[in-house]
């Protein structure tokens, strides 16, 4: 399972902003997904790591 920041619809965003104002805190919304990691060889891993470094992100290879 992997969790990512949610893509919140406008109506939900308004509800979150109202709750943040009421509670005096910032709320982060995460969505979780069942995934299966892909098997990568050394060459693929090297390319993924280079892309991570170039983009400044972490990447996860999953089966599609």
Q: pLDDT for 4-45, tens place per residue?
A: 999 888 788 999 999 999 999 999 999 999 999 999 999 999
- Judge if 7 and 25 occupy the same domain: yes
Distance CA 13, CA 36 (A): 30
Q: pLDDT value at position 9?
A: 86
- Judge if 43 and 58 occupy the same domain: yes
- Judge if 29 and 48 occupy the same domain: no
- Judge if 51 and 63 occupy the same domain: yes
- Judge if 6 and 25 occupy the same domain: yes
- Judge if 2 and 24 occupy the same domain: yes
- Judge if 28 and 2 occupy the same domain: yes
Q: Which domain holds residue 2?
A: 1-33
- Judge if 42 and 59 occupy the same domain: yes
pLDDT at 64 over 90: no
Distance CA 10, CA 36 (A): 31
pTM: 0.64
């Amino acid at each position: 399972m992997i969790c990512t920041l949610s893509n919140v619809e406008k109506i939900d965003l308004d509800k979150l902003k109202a709750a943040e104002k009421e509670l005096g805190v910032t709320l982060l919304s995460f969505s979780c997904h069942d995934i299966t990691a892909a098997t990568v060889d050394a060459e693929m891993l090297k390319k993924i790591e280079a892309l991570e470094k170039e983009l400044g992100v972490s990447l996860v290879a999953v089966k599609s």
